[in-house]
Amino acid sequence: MKIAVYPGSFDPVTRGHIDILERTSQMFDKVVVAVVHNVTKHALFTLDERKEMIKKSTKHLDNIEVECFSGLLADYLRQKEATIIIRGLRSMVDFEYESQMSMINRQLIPQADTVFIMSDPRYIFVSSSGVKEAALLGGDVSSMVPPLVEKGLQEKIKQIKI
Ligand code: PNS
């Protein structure tokens, strides 16, 4: 059984992430989305909120699991018996950071490979941070995130403004 882990902050999940999940769910027996507690990034959504938004946005895919994790990705892969790390690529800028990360992971868990998936051209400019900034400033992000994420963003904005 080929198990892949798709790790990320997903703060929040975008249509670009969902597209990658739709494509990779056809390549592997199981894809585990690992919502990471990233100590270097201040998150807008809690881990549980991010997890729920991904779960609801991937209801149409039957081999996707969504979990939260903190710690070393290599340890998590061992725990899940996964041998593939999925990462999306939008540009050469992503590639520089991603290639370094894949090499570190290769040292930490040599039996695993990172599989890079090129972003669909529709979503090449979409990032969670861009979406958050645009939404917080009143922009329409409906083409970039699933409807329930758009709703979640509006609720967060209301809470921030109170
Ligand atoms: O969506 P992001 O924030 O670009 O995802 C980055 C992530 C979570 C994949 C990366 O920070 C990660 O793997 N964190 C887990 C800690 C770890 O294993 N670090 C060593 C590999 S560089």
| pLDDT tens sequence across 16-63 | 999 999 999 999 999 999 999 888 888 999 999 999 999 999 999 999
Q: Which atom of ligand 1 is nearest to the CA of 101?
A: 22
**Ligand 1 geometric centre to CA of 135 (Å):** 25
In the sheet that holds 3-8, the strands lie side by side as: 64-69, 30-36, 3-8, 84-89, 113-118
Q: Which atom of ligand 1 is nearest to the CA of 100?
A: 22
The answer to whether residues 41 and 129 touch, using CB atoms and an 8 Å cutoff, is: no
Query: So what's the pLDDT on residue 93?
Result: 86
Q: Which atom of ligand 1 is nearest to the CA of 41?
A: 3
Query: 101-117 burial, b for 16+ CB within 10 Å, e for fewer?
Result: ebeebeeebeebeeeeb
The answer to whether residues 9 and 89 touch, using CB atoms and an 8 Å cutoff, is: no
**Ligand 1 geometric centre to CA of 140 (Å):** 29
The answer to whether residues 78 and 108 touch, using CB atoms and an 8 Å cutoff, is: no
For ligand 1, residues with CB inside 6 Å are 7-9, 36, 38, 72-73, 101, 104-105
Domains of the chain: 3-124 (3.40.50.620)
Residues with catalytic annotation?
A: 17, 41, 90, 128
Report residue 115's pLDDT band, with 50, 70 and 90 as the boundaries. very high
pTM for this predicted structure: 0.96
The set of residues, in sequence order, having a beta carbon less than 8 Å from that of 66 and lying 6+ positions away, is 32, 33, 35, 51, 54, 55, 58
Give the residue whose CA is nearest to atom 2 of ligand 1: 8
Query: So what's the pLDDT on residue 162?
Result: 63
DSSP assignment of 19-81: HHHHHHTTTSSEEEEEEE--TTS--SS-HHHHHHHHHHHTTT-TTEEEEEE-S-HHHHHHHHT
Lowest mean pLDDT among 8-17, 25-34, 86-95, 98-107: 86-95
Mean pLDDT of 80-89: 98
Higher pLDDT, 42 or 145: 145
Query: So what's the pLDDT on residue 41?
Result: 80
